[in-house]
Structure 1
Amino acid sequence: MENFDVIVVGGGPAGLSAAISAARAGMKTVVIERGDYPGTKNMMGGILYTDPTDDVVPEFWKEAPLERPIIEQRFGMLSGDQSVMAAYRDPVWADEPYNAHSIFRVPFDRWLAQQAEKAGVMIITETVVIDFLYQDQKVVGVRTGREEGELGAKMVILAEGVNNFLAVQAGLAYPLTTHTVAVAVKEVIALPSETIEDRFCLEKGQGATIELYGDSTDGMMGSAFIYTNRESLSVGVGALLEPLIQKHWTPNDLIEAFKAKPYVKRLLQGGETKEYLAHLIPEGGYDQMPKIYRRGLLVAGDTAMLMNSLNREGANMAMTSGKIAGEVAAQSIQRDDFSDQAMAVYESRLRDSFVMKDMKHYRHMGKFLEENPHLLEEYPDMAAQVLKMYLTVDGIPKKQRQKEILKKVYQIRSKRGLLKDIYGAWRAFL
C-alpha cells in the first residue's frame, strides 16, 4: 500500500486548494478525482471572486483561463412580463486586481490542477473513493474502487462535493434531504462578443451579471442568473428541491420558462445553446452543517455545506476552506498530533475567517424564506404594480395616486403582514 502525507478526495476548487497548500508546506500529497480530469464533473454559475482565489494562487488572473472581469452587477424581480431592476457599475473593476471574473469550471479547474501539480501534487483521475481506512478510530487512508486500491495517509481531506456519501459513512453528516439542497440548471448560449457588449452596454472585454428573483423561479425559493462570457452567456435557474417537487416543475421547465420572459428573451435573441448542465447545490446553511473534522479527517467545500447563495459565494468559500484544511493538515503532521484538539484548529480557523462568520450571519435566511413563500410570490408583483402606478402619467394628481398605491399595497399584504415581514427580514438578513 502506497502511503502519503495527505490524501485529498475530490478535484474541485476546495480539494485542489487544499492540495496546493499542503504541498507547499512540504507534504507528499495526492488528489483522487473520479472524473476524467478535474473539472469534468463540476458545475457552477460561473463567477469567481479575486481575493480568496489570490490567496491560493497569487496573481492568478495573469494566466488563469478567465472570461470577463465583472464591472456591473444587476439585481431584479420579475412579475409576469414586468421587471423591476437595480444595478451597480464600477469601471475600476475592469483593472487589476479586479473584483470578480466570469469563468467556465472545466478550463479553470484543469488550470488549478496544473498549479497543484507544479507544487508537487500527484493527481489520480477516474478513481472513486468508496470508504476510509481506520486505525483506532483515526482515519489513516482511503479504499478506492480499483483493484489493490488502498492508499495510506497521515491526514485525509474530504472535498467530494455536495453529494456527501463519504461524509455520511464517516459519521460526520446526515444524508441530503429535499430541504437541504437546491437543483440548478444552466445553459451556455453562444453570442458574438460585440453583441454581448452592445446589449449589456459594456466596453470591449468587460462583463456584467444579472440576478433575478420572483417569477424567474415561479416564486419558489431560488433565483435565476445571466452572466456574460467572452462569446457566450451563462444562463441558469436554481430552486430548492422541496418546492420544485411540490409544484411538479422539472429543472428544464424552469429554465425554458425563464428564457421566455420578455426581459430575458431579448438578451438571448439570436443565441445558440452550446451546453446544458445541471447540478445540486448545498442549501442547508449554518444549522445543517456537518461536523467538519474527526481524527485524521477534515471536510471542506460543498461537502461541509459551505454556501452563501445570497451573495453567490460558493467557490470562494470552497477555496478558502480548502486552503485552511491543507495548512492545518500539514501542521498536524509536522507536530505528529492528530488529536481532536489538533483537528479542532481547522474549525477554529474557519470561524475566524469570513467563511463561518458569513454562514452564521445568514443562518436564519433559508428558514425565513422557506417559511414565508409569499415573499417571492407577492412582493415582486407588489413592487411592479406600485412602480407602474407611480410612473404612469394619466392626469391623476400625485396625492391621490399615492393613496391608491397604499390601498393596492394593503390589498396584496396587510399592514400587520408588512411589519411582520420587515421584522423577520431584519432578523434573517441583518
Structure 2
Amino acid sequence: MPPERHTEASAAARTEGDTDFDVVVVGAGPAGSAAALEAARAGLRVALLERGPYPGAKNVYGGVVYGRILDELVPDWWEHMPVQRWVTRRSTMVLTGHQALTVDFRTEDWGRPPYNGATAFRSELDGWLASLAEDAGAVLVPATTATGLLRDPGGRVSGVRTDRPDGDLTARVVIACDGVNSFLAKEAGLFAKVPGRQSEHTSLGVKETLALPREVIEERFGVSGRHGQDIEILGCTGSVPGGGFLYTNLDSVSVGVVLSLTGLAASGRRPEEVLAGLKSHPAVAPLLRGAELKEYSAHLIPEGGYDSMPELAGDGILVAGDAAAMCLAAGVWLEGVNYALGAGMHAGRAAAAAIAAGDTSRAGLAGYRGRLEESFVLADHRRLRRVPGLVFSERMQQTYPGLLCDVAQGFFTVDNPRPKPGLRRLLTGAARRRGLRLRHVLSDAFTGTRSFG
C-alpha cells in the first residue's frame, strides 16, 4: 500500500476508536502473521490471536518454504529467516512395489541469493513471522482460542469471542486464518456454496522426523554445506490416493505421506501403516537406515483446490491460508506456505483499504479477491483447478507409475542375443499389461495440457 493510504487508514482508525482493535487476526501461522504484519504497517491497531502457547507450538510441516513472496514482505529475508537447508536438489520419484524411477534436478543457482526454497521448522518459522508483526506494532495474544464471532445489530461481524477470562475482542475487520477446519469461516457462512462434504476436499498428512548425523545426510543425499534435497513421491500409497515426500533438514530428515481422507477410510488401513510401507521400499529404506525417530505428527490438509474454496469475504470478515483451502496440490507441486503468505499479505492490505474507505461490508472488502486474482495465489489455483482430480485418479496413482517403471526397466535391460526393443514397442506392451487404453491417455493428456500448458 502506498504511504498516503497508510496515513488514511491510520486516521480512520484514530477517529473511530469504538472497538478494541481495528483488525483481529485469528491464527499466527504464515497467513495470519502476514496479515497482521501488513495491517500493522498500515498504522492500524492489530491483535494477532494464537491458541498455542507461542506461534508454531502446534504446527506440523512437511514441505519446503518458497521465498519469492517473502521478497515483497521482508527484503533480504534469507538473512533473517530460520532455515534448515536450502533446497538445491529437487527430485520426483515414481514407485511400484519393487521398482523406482526418479527424475532428479539440481542447480547451484538455488544455493545462493535470492534462493528458491528452503526446509524450515514451523516452530521457528512461525515465531519469526509473528515477531515481524509484533515489531510492526501488532499485539500478539497467545494461549487464546477464538470460540465464535461477534456481530453488530445489522449482522456484520464485529469481533470474536474468546476463551480468555476478559472475554470478547471487538474489531472492525476479523481475518480468519484459523486453519483447515476454520470454524470462524463456517460460522460466517462462507462455506455455504462449496459443493460436497469437506472430507472430500481434505487429505491427512502424516510425517516422521528422523535424526541422522549431518555428515550421513550429506553423503547419502549428495549435498554439502547448507544445501539439501526435496523428493516428491508418487505411487507409494497403494490403494489409498495420495503421495509421499522425503526432505532433508540439517541433522534430520522428514518422511511422510499425504492421504485422501475418503480413500483412507474406504481402505480400512491405518496411516502409519502406509507410511511404514514407504519407509521400507527398496528405493527409500537405504536413505533412512539407522535413523532415530524424533517426532511423529499428523495434520489435515485442504487439497481440493480452487473449486473447494469458500467465499473469501463477508461483512466484516476475510479468510486466508488453509482456512480458505489455499494449499496447492498439483502433482509435482505441493505448496502451502507461500500461498498462505500471499493471501495473508493481501488480506491485511485489503482490510486497511476498507477501513480507510470507511466500508468494511462484504462489498467494501471485495477488493481482497481482486487482489488475489491478480496475484499468483488465485491465478495458479484457477489454472490448475482440474489437477487435484487428475492426481488422485487411479490411473495417475497406480497405472502410470507402473507404466513408467516398466518402460524404464525394459529400456535398460540388456537381453542379448535379442535385439533391443524400440520405445513404441515398450510403451504399447506396458500399456497392455497395465490395462491402459488410448482414450484414457488422451483424456488425461487433454486435462494435463489444459492445466500445465
TM-score tier, shorter chain, comes to over 0.9
Q: What corresponds to 1:333 in structure 2?
A: 355
Aligned residues: 428
Aligned mate of 2:47, from 25, 30, 33: 30
Relative to structure 1, is the Cα distance of residues 203 and 223 closer, same or farther in structure 2, using a 3 angstrom cutoff?
A: same
Q: What corresponds to 1:149 in structure 2?
A: 167
1:94 equivalent in alignment to 2:111: yes
Answer yes or no: is the 8 Å Cα contact 1:389–1:401 preserved in 2: no
For 1:81-120, list aligned pairs within 5 A: 81-120=98-137
Q: What corresponds to 1:345 in structure 2?
A: 367
Answer yes or no: is the 8 Å Cα contact 2:160–2:170 preserved in 1: yes
1:414 equivalent in alignment to 2:437: yes
Answer yes or no: is the 8 Å Cα contact 2:329–2:388 preserved in 1: no
Relative to structure 1, is the Cα distance of residues 427 and 219 closer, same or farther in structure 2, using a 3 angstrom cutoff?
A: farther
For 1:249-264, list aligned pairs within 5 A: 249-264=269-284
| Equivalent position amino acid for 1:179 in 2 | E
Partners in 2 of 1:315 and 1:416 — Cα distance? 37
Q: CA RMSD for the aligned pairs?
A: 1.7
Is 26-35 or 373-382 further displaced after alignment? 373-382
Aligned mate of 1:390, from 400, 411, 423: 411
1:404 offset after TM fit, Å? 5.5
Answer yes or no: is the 8 Å Cα contact 1:30–1:121 preserved in 2: yes
For 1:10-49, list aligned pairs within 5 A: 10-49=27-66
Structure 1 residue runs of 5 or longer lacking an equivalent are: none
| Equivalent position amino acid for 1:161 in 2 | G
Tell me the SS of whatever aligns to 1:96. coil
1:2 offset after TM fit, Å? 6.5
1:207 equivalent in alignment to 2:225: no
Is 191-200 or 403-412 further displaced after alignment? 403-412
Answer yes or no: is the 8 Å Cα contact 2:48–2:139 preserved in 1: yes
1:378 equivalent in alignment to 2:417: no
1:118 offset after TM fit, Å? 1.0
Partners in 2 of 1:227 and 1:398 — Cα distance? 37
Q: What corresponds to 2:446 in structure 1?
A: 423
Q: What corresponds to 2:14 in structure 1?
A: none
1:429 offset after TM fit, Å? 4.1
Relative to structure 1, is the Cα distance of residues 30 and 401 closer, same or farther in structure 2, using a 3 angstrom cutoff?
A: closer
Partners in 2 of 1:28 and 1:234 — Cα distance? 39
1:263 offset after TM fit, Å? 0.9
Answer yes or no: is the 8 Å Cα contact 1:33–1:126 preserved in 2: yes
Partners in 2 of 1:19 and 1:179 — Cα distance? 31
1:319 equivalent in alignment to 2:341: yes
Q: What corresponds to 2:149 in structure 1?
A: 132
| Equivalent position amino acid for 2:156 in 1 | K
Partners in 2 of 1:296 and 1:251 — Cα distance? 39
Answer yes or no: is the 8 Å Cα contact 1:46–1:105 preserved in 2: no
1:269 equivalent in alignment to 2:289: yes
Aligned-residue identity in percent: 39
Partner deviation per Cα, 1:147-169 (whole Å, 9 max, x = no partner): 33111111111100101211111
Relative to structure 1, is the Cα distance of residues 172 and 404 closer, same or farther in structure 2, using a 3 angstrom cutoff?
A: closer
1:274 offset after TM fit, Å? 0.4
1:190 equivalent in alignment to 2:211: yes
Tell me the SS of whatever aligns to 2:283. helix
1:369 offset after TM fit, Å? 3.9
Tell me the SS of whatever aligns to 2:51. coil
For 1:72-83, list aligned pairs within 5 A: 72-83=89-100
Partner deviation per Cα, 1:46-102 (whole Å, 9 max, x = no partner): 311111123222222112211011111000101112101101111121111111110
| Equivalent position amino acid for 1:338 in 2 | T
Q: What corresponds to 1:235 in structure 2?
A: 255
Answer yes or no: is the 8 Å Cα contact 1:389–1:405 preserved in 2: no
Q: What corresponds to 1:166 in structure 2?
A: 184
Q: What corresponds to 2:382 in structure 1?
A: 360
Partners in 1 of 2:440 and 2:113 — Cα distance? 46
Partners in 2 of 1:342 and 1:211 — Cα distance? 41
Q: What corresponds to 1:65 in structure 2?
A: 82
Partners in 2 of 1:259 and 1:328 — Cα distance? 45
Partners in 2 of 1:17 and 1:400 — Cα distance? 54
Tell me the SS of whatever aligns to 2:199. coil
Answer yes or no: is the 8 Å Cα contact 1:211–1:226 preserved in 2: yes
1:428 offset after TM fit, Å? 4.6
Partner deviation per Cα, 1:188-210 (whole Å, 9 max, x = no partner): 11111111111111122211110
| Equivalent position amino acid for 2:449 in 1 | W
Structure 2 residue runs of 5 or longer lacking an equivalent are: 1-17
Relative to structure 1, is the Cα distance of residues 296 and 385 closer, same or farther in structure 2, using a 3 angstrom cutoff?
A: same
